[in-house]
Every structure is written in C-alpha cells, then in structure tokens.
C-alpha cells in the first residue's frame, strides 16, 4: 500500500496532457525511432495524417497523450521502457503504412 505522500506525489505527476515534459516526448520519439526516422514519420502519418508522413512536431497534446497511453511507458532508473507489445504493434503500423499486413502466430 502506498502512503498518502506517495499518492499525492503520484497524482500531481499526472496533471493531464499539458504537463507532458519534453523529456517524456523525447523518450516516446526514441521508442518510435527504433526502426529509424522514416519509420516514425510513416507511423505517425498512418495514425494521424491519412497515411501521409508526419513529423512529431505537428502532434497535438491529445495525440501525444494517446501515444503515451499506447506505449504505456514505465520509468526505471531514468530509462523509459514501453509495454511489452509496443514494438510489435509499432511494426504492424509501419507495415500497414506501406500497405502490408503483419501476421502473428501463437
């Protein structure tokens, strides 16, 4: 169980979309750059810009939030790590931006 101070710190660290730090945005960009700058532009375009490549500089606050929720990052010792399926989902979006599909067999 968390203490009241821990709860207070937690809720004040999550002040909505407007408080997303440049560092957090940079961490998200870093995640998306795993497959290169072109991949990031293509996936952002696929998600938000009718499949036309898009720069992260054009993302709205709401779009940043949605990407953050998708990545569901956890900070461990100053390093932001995404949820376990993020890279596979990102790759699926990248392939979709090229008109291809990714098949996953369990």
Domain assignment of residue 71, yes or no: yes
Domain assignment of residue 89, yes or no: yes
What's the CA gap between 57 and 32, in Å, rounded?
A: 14
Q: Could you report the per-residue pLDDT of 69-104, keeping only the tens digit for each?
A: 788 888 888 787 888 888 888 888 888 888 887 776
Cα 72 to Cα 12, 24, 28, 43: the distances in Å are 18, 12, 10, 17
What's the CA gap between 78 and 95, in Å, rounded?
A: 31
Structure-token match 């569901």, residue found = 72
Domain assignment of residue 1, yes or no: no
Q: Could you report the per-residue pLDDT of 33-61, keeping only the tens digit for each?
A: 988 889 999 988 888 888 899 999 998 88
Domain assignment of residue 52, yes or no: yes
Domain span holding position 83: 22-97
Domain assignment of residue 10, yes or no: no
**Would you state the pLDDT for residue 18?**
60
Domain assignment of residue 49, yes or no: yes
Domain assignment of residue 8, yes or no: no
Q: How many domains does the chain have?
A: 1
- Does the pLDDT value for residue 5 go beyond 60? no
Domain assignment of residue 4, yes or no: no
CA angle, residues 75, 22, 26, in degrees to nearest 5: 65
With both helix axes pointing from N to C terminus, report the angle between 61-71 and 86-97 in degrees, rounded to the nearest 10.
120
């Amino acid at each position: 169980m968390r203490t009241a101070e821990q709860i207070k710190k937690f809720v004040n660290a999550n002040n909505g979309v407007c408080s997303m730090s440049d560092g957090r945005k940079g961490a998200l960009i870093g995640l998306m750059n795993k497959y290169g700058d072109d991949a990031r532009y293509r996936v952002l375009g696929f998600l938000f810009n009718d499949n036309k490549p898009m720069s992260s500089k054009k993302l709205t606050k709401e779009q940043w939030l949605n990407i953050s929720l998708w990545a569901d990052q956890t900070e461990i010792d100053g390093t932001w790590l995404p949820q376990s399926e993020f890279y596979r989902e990102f790759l699926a979006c990248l392939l979709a931006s090229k008109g291809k599909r990714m098949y996953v067999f369990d």
